[in-house]
Amino acid sequence: MASEKAKSDEPIDSPQAEEEDHDSDTDVDEPEHDQAAGGIDTPGAGSSSQQKKKKKKKSKAAKLLKALKPGQEQIPQTLVDQVLERVREEHGEGVPGTDEEHVRKALEQLKVMDVIKGKAGIAGRGKKDLGAHKFWATQPVPQLGEGPPAEDGYIEPSLPREQVRQDPYPLPKDFEWSSIDLDDPNQTKEVYDLLCLNYVEDDNASFRFQYTAEFLEWALKPPGFHKDWHVGVRVKSNKKLVAFISGVPIALRVRGNVFHASEINYLCVHKKLRSKRLAPVLIKEVTRQCHLKGIFQAIYTAGVVVPTPISTCRYYHRIINVQKLVDIQFTYVPRNMTLARMTRLNKLPTVPRLASAGLREMTEKDVPQVAELYTRYMERFTMSPIMTLDELRHQFLSGLGVGPSPKDWQGRRERQVVWSYVVENPQTHKITDFFTFYSLPSTIMRSPKYDLLEAAYLFYYATDVALQEDTEDGRVKKRLQEIIGDALIIASSAKFDVFNALTLMDNCGILEDLRFGSGDGLLNYYLYNWRTAPLAGVNGLGGTSAGKGVGVVML
């Protein structure tokens, strides 16, 4: 890590950066802390013991309630214990769903609902009033506090090309715009270096995403991509890349409306330049580039809260390499558990359970059948991408890497990014199921022993069990447990340390049964220039089960 620190400290030949200003930057948000809720003296209050006792009790209750406010990273054990005690007093012992884990999750959900309604941030992040969101108040997005729209639709109408701004937005005098050519390995490496040293990291600065050149090639060059949507900012004096934002084309279906949009991602500004307020102008410039191509809607995600999320999903983690994850403090050994027992409980088989029932790697000839299954399956979710054959081929096959398929399910190909498998009925040769996952490692910044966290992320999947008439949810759940369970086995054999998934699609019903644990990370989904009512993500909403509002996996 010494070499990485040296890189991050190298001069960028620009005026010295000031302290960060987060009012408009959307890639970073500084936690805000609430004033203490308890212990406030009332003017003229008496000093009797009864009054003091009452005041003390009120102060204690207020402090406990404060635990549900943004700014608290976890629900305090004291609050959980008090809720458990109250439940036992009223309902007795042994009532299902009243154990410590379920109570803690219920309290967390109270916080999540406030995020969805735009009332609160996440763990204290992004909690700003509308006045602090000066940039987003000027954009065609639903504003905080707005109720559900009477009907879905655009906020601002599309414009003919000649009415779109033709000139780039102005930058500070020391910087210039640059369209990034990802066909050039040198420019791809520049994006890789910028993201690796300056992009998303966890709250404790222990892990940071490490986007490989192969990943960027796969994620940013789908069929029909536009080079002009890969927007960079360089220092004029030395041409160093110091900021980046990307867009790729996507077709979306939202509550029956189908429209073309851009998928905006990888907004990144060099840490030393965040006082230059480059993030808002990056967003405006990539928006202008999309408008020039006739695209006026967009989808994007963020871990922070800005006006206004259409849904919020929670990350879940299935630990695989227990010893390593404990060593790097990604997880810990629970009370009443030993490391050996924890390792044994999370151990996975070496051969997928469906290996003898038609499970194999996806190939080119499977694309038409997989596309048909994907299309029908994804119609079950309120918002989902619509893929052409070429797009599906790119997403599921172009990142398989080079070299032969791993023998006996062990190992991985060189430069492999995505893993794609189908289940083919041996008699009919019909594709009945498929699943995919991708690799996105993270740099480990505070471990003397390890430097890379190998993380797999659940991507798209489908099963025809969900499309059969009179199918019960129990049958769908059982089949998904089988195919996603095999995804875990393949990931383990490919030497991944952890397998991550979000509470979207059908994931909510199977994650805990597959020994996924709830993480503390939340991901907010946003639509630009499109109004729609909130979608079911981490919580069920409007009669839609949790997760089934969101069918878009953002890379």
User: Which of the residues are catalytic?
Assistant: 555
Q: Which amino acid is at 2?
A: A
Helix axes 389-397, 367-378, angle to 10 degrees: 100
Q: How many helices (H) and strands (E) does the chain have?
A: 12, 16
Q: Given the DSSP bridges, would you call strands 298-302 and 257-269 parallel, antiparallel or unpaired?
A: parallel
The alpha carbon of residue 231 and the mean position of all alpha carbons in its chain are separated, in whole angstroms, by 22
Close Cβ partners of 150 (under 8 Å, ≥ 6 residues apart): none
What's the rounded Cα separation, in Å, for the pair 544 and 527? 19
Q: Is the dihedral of CA 398, 403, 407, 410 positive or negative?
A: negative
In which residue are the tokens 């890349």 written? 241
Measured CA angle at 128 (ends 125, 133), to 5 deg: 115
Measured CA angle at 193 (ends 192, 198), to 5 deg: 105
What's the rounded Cα separation, in Å, for the pair 552 and 311? 11
In which residue are the tokens 């620009």 written? 14
Spatial contact of 416 and 400, defined as CB atoms under 8 Å apart: yes
Measured CA angle at 103 (ends 99, 106), to 5 deg: 145
What's the rounded Cα separation, in Å, for the pair 173 and 182? 26
Burial 44-69 (b: 16+ CB within 10 A, else e): eeeeeeeeeeebeeeeeeebbebbbb
First to last CA, the chain: 25
What's the rounded Cα separation, in Å, for the pair 549 and 381? 5
Instruction: Give me 158's structure tokens.
Output: 């599309």
Q: What is the CA radius of gyration of the chain?
A: 25
Separation in Å, CA 458 to CA 67, 166, 180, 217, 447: 32, 40, 29, 19, 26
The alpha carbon of residue 58 and the mean position of all alpha carbons in its chain are separated, in whole angstroms, by 39
What's the rounded Cα separation, in Å, for the pair 67 and 150? 35
Burial 385-406 (b: 16+ CB within 10 A, else e): bbbeeebbbbbbbebbeeeeeb
Cis bond leading into 308, ω under 30°? yes
Close Cβ partners of 138 (under 8 Å, ≥ 6 residues apart): none
Instruction: Give me 475's structure tokens.
Output: 């049958």
What's the rounded Cα separation, in Å, for the pair 169 and 152? 31
